A and B are shown apart, each in its own frame.
Chain A
């Protein structure tokens, strides 16, 4: 496996932890709590016009006639475009993925000849008010001839119908690889455990929908685009690459953002259209997505089948794993990731997990269907892969007569560093320890006793486990370890003011993770100042620091590394002047708690504020050849791929009357290395796990046979509510990374990655007396009731003798 060559921007300074590790309250909160946050819908530009879209009401059709004249004549309308109008400026966004077997697609900004999914934009209207724009949308005169809709991944893979004419055999992606003697292991297996698992189609459904505002000023050719994107710098790049706006004149501004979870980590047709419309009407234009549009046209997620098999020896050790994933990709590759993100990630990133499997083989495929394109959602691909692996681990435990803890302990990787069959190197972790810790947290013997007692009373509780290894801090090294060639690096700028307070900008936009607080903690400890003396601006504008996107649990690691490196440069300036003032050697000067002091002589000290003031205003304080700049911009990327780990256990009770799953309690173990702020880490765990509960039990974007989307409101698409969300017990283990600043690792996705397997395993544990094993999400009341009444056809573990 190719590893990245080490560069200087991969080293970070060593610093004393003062605020890192503390439950620092968030600096973001007073604004957000008092209604003073500024989200995209809250921004009003003088003279702004409003945009609304006409979207396809059918899954697959040929447009036979489209006439915008009534729309254009409507009161208050300034402009209306169909696909042909938009195509003059941009033929569409190419979606592809740099792995073997990917067939690209081009997604038009507005459909031209065919519509390929319900919700695909057909026309766009610019009007004085949103009310007027939506009124005018109703006047569109168009006809279409319906075509057969492809709505099932298996049918698409079998070549039944064509969902998108650009992919004549429906395959957007197909490939695979094998490492070690997989065939031999399966031939010689004592037993084989296998199953086909299904993760249903869901939406990230951030509480704030998408939105774009564009303002073009022709005299200076300058374009300002407000978007609640997770990738402002990439969006700016795309606006130049696709539309030709000169990059130096393009600024992308990301206001406060109401959750993203990956859905806002794409480049969408709407983000390309608004700048074109602004230029055309010579007024600022604003589009705020409504919830119906968000559920129809914001990237969908998760839908795939994962076939997984373990070869086990006579002792129950895994000798090989085979995985095949088939993703239902929707009508197009969603740029810039593509329909590969689910099935490719699932099989490449997750098959071994924490188990010492010596051989692995995988194949992946994604097919086009007449549904909304599938994209990223928190732990993309990792969720389905972890779901299949961890649910199969529970089935293997039953098949070998071991407890689910025992089976995992029997198979866990014994020591680090460990290289998995694909050649991915894991430097450290608490994989074994996490099993022991979780077992003691749930008090397994007591649980088994309670379960037996309740069963005797006709009540059915279950315990489900799920262990994860999460690739964290999406980096160049991480990308290369997984066979990709993506380059990621971010910058941060740190500036110290004359009064010794610091101003920090980072290249990542924030969606609610508290990055302004955690990055202030990183900067404060490096500079030796108090955390309240640091202000952090996340990527509010592409005019500031550069960032590769708030994706892949990279905020703490990558932005944190850049902040630490930039602060480290400023730190050396302070030490140099402090040493001069204190008549000490630079190496003897330490910066802690707002003071520069001489090691071993704590009384010989001077405040950092005094040093900063001297640097700005007193040349006599300077050492020879001193450059008084107290500002530094530095890049960061990790030298190696790094991985967090942990687990969740869930206790559920099934109601035989209603089929409802009641969530009694969640136990979580998280090892993300050094914890910057436990409040924020725990918030990420709870939020992610409850999203996982949603994706397992409550949520499904349902289509009928004609490809009609049936779930376009929050009444039909039910995300978890307070009354169904369980309490948590969270345990932190800290195994610091040797490579990141302060030893931090990313952890933003593990909740959603691992929770669904814990849910299904808990439900299947509760269903044991009924002899039924479920493998498909969502675990709807109908399925649970059927399972408990004996009406479900049993899918008991397939234990095959060699």
Chain B
């Protein structure tokens, strides 16, 4: 299958348990689909070339750069964004740990860190400091100097805060 960049393709993507169906240009990135079509703006774009990690989301539970993924590539897959993390109207354990450890300042990169750390804690609920640093070093932060982010993920792990409950998909078309 090949399409010109402007050609429209029908995609169907589950985001945070809701199914979004829309015709999109073949060149449209998943990040732009999440932000513009699903109107979930918690996912941020810091570089749009796959380095900074701000746009990290989970595709089928694995962290991925949504700026380097086309919406069409996510067709039929499950995506989780930062908006999925809260437990009702409360911060989850990882988010709470970021707040208590002062693991964010401007908050622009934070969604990427939270999603990468979520995937880490789901896969390995008791990571060592080295595990954390190795996994999360792919994300850039310009405010904190990183130590408080490490401390936050350590705290979340110590409190067993991994949100291992993956959302069940709700049926029904949103778009």
A interface residues (Cβ-Cβ under 8 A, vs B): 25-26, 28-39, 41-42, 131, 205-209, 256-259, 261, 290-291, 511-514, 679-680, 682-683, 686-687, 689-691, 713-715, 719-723, 725, 727-728
Contact = CB atoms under 8 A, between A and B. Distances in A.
> Which of A38, A258, A691, A727 has the most CB atoms of chain B within a 10 A radius of its CB?
A258
Contacts of B141: 207, 722
A728 B46 contact: no
Contacts of B150: 722
B49 A33 contact: no
A715 B99 contact: no
Interface string B87-120: 0000100010011101011111111001000000
B43 interface: yes
A639 B117 CA distance: 48
Interface stretch (B78-86, B157-165, B166-174): B78-86
A683 B106 contact: no
A33 B100 CA distance: 12
A131 B25 contact: yes
A205 B141 CA distance: 10
Interface stretch (B7-15, B68-76, B129-137): B129-137
B124 interface: no
B104 A33 contact: yes
Given A33-B91, A36-B42, A131-B27, A728 B106 contact: no
Contact of A258 (B83, B100, B107, B145): B107
Interface in B18-47: 25, 27-28, 35, 40-47
A689 B145 contact: yes
A208 B145 contact: no
Given A34-B86, A723-B133, 20 more contacts: A28-B107, A29-B98, A39-B108, A131-B27, A206-B108, A207-B54, A256-B107, A259-B106, A291-B52, A512-B105, A512-B106, A512-B108, A683-B145, A683-B148, A691-B142, A713-B51, A719-B140, A721-B138, A722-B137, A728-B147
20 contacts: A28-B107, A32-B106, A32-B110, A34-B95, A37-B42, A38-B41, A131-B28, A207-B109, A208-B106, A209-B46, A512-B143, A683-B144, A683-B145, A687-B105, A687-B145, A714-B51, A719-B140, A722-B133, A722-B146, A723-B137
Interface of B: 25, 27-28, 35, 40-49, 51-52, 54, 81-83, 85-86, 91, 95, 98-100, 102, 104-111, 114, 133-134, 136-150
A690 B150 CA distance: 15
Nearest to A724: B137
Nearest to A725: B146
Contacts of A682: 102
B142 A205 contact: yes
Contacts of A511: 106
B102 A207 contact: no
A713 B91 contact: no
Contacts of B104: 29, 32-33, 512
A512 B49 contact: no
Nearest to A714: B51
B146 A690 contact: yes
A28 B104 CA distance: 10
Given A686-B144, A687-B144, A722 B149 contact: yes
Given A29-B98, A35-B40, A35-B43, A259 B143 contact: yes
A276 B99 CA distance: 41
Contact of A34 (B45, B46, B91, B143): B91
A257 B143 CA distance: 12
Contact of A512 (B40, B82, B107, B139): B107
Nearest to B151: A727
A737 B147 CA distance: 30
B142 A686 contact: no
A35 B111 contact: yes
Contact of A687 (B44, B111, B143): B143
Contacts of B140: 207, 714, 719, 721
A714 to B, nearest CB: 4
Contacts of A208: 44, 46, 106, 108
Given A715-B49, A725-B147, A35 B109 contact: no
A559 B150 CA distance: 32
B48 A290 contact: yes
Contacts of B149: 722
B42 A34 contact: yes
Contacts of A257: 106
Given A206-B106, A291-B46, A512-B105, A42 B41 contact: yes
Contacts of B145: 683, 686-687, 689-690, 725, 728
B142 A719 contact: yes
B108 A259 contact: yes
A300 to B, nearest CB: 16
| The 3 A-B residue pairs with the shortest CB-CB distance in the complex, in nearest-first order | A35-B42, A512-B106, A258-B108
A686 B141 CA distance: 12
Nearest to A132: B6
A776 to B, nearest CB: 24
A680 B144 CA distance: 10
Contact of B148 (A32, A512, A686, A719): A686
Contact of A33 (B28, B106, B107): B107
Nearest to A288: B45
A686 B104 CA distance: 12
B144 A723 contact: no
A31 B150 CA distance: 21
A721 B137 contact: yes
Q: Taking each of A32, A205, A208, which has the highest tally of chain B beta carbons within 10 Å of its own beta carbon?
A: A32
Contacts of A687: 105, 142-145
Contacts of A28: 107
Nearest to B36: A44
A512 B145 CA distance: 14
Nearest to B39: A44
B48 A291 contact: yes
Contacts of A723: 133-134, 137
Contact of B91 (A30, A514, A728): A30
Contact of B99 (A29, A41, A259, A722): A29
Contacts of B28: 131
A30 B35 CA distance: 20
Given A28-B107, A32-B110, A206 B102 contact: no
A513 B102 CA distance: 11
Given A261-B142, A690-B146, A207 B99 contact: no
Contacts of A35: 40-43, 81-83, 111
A679 B41 CA distance: 28
Contacts of B44: 39, 41, 207-208, 258
A242 to B, nearest CB: 29
Contacts of B106: 32, 206-208, 256-259, 511-512
A514 B108 contact: no
B100 A25 contact: yes
A312 to B, nearest CB: 36
Contacts of B81: 35
A511 B51 CA distance: 22
A209 B109 CA distance: 12
A97 B155 CA distance: 49
A720 B144 CA distance: 11
A549 B81 CA distance: 34
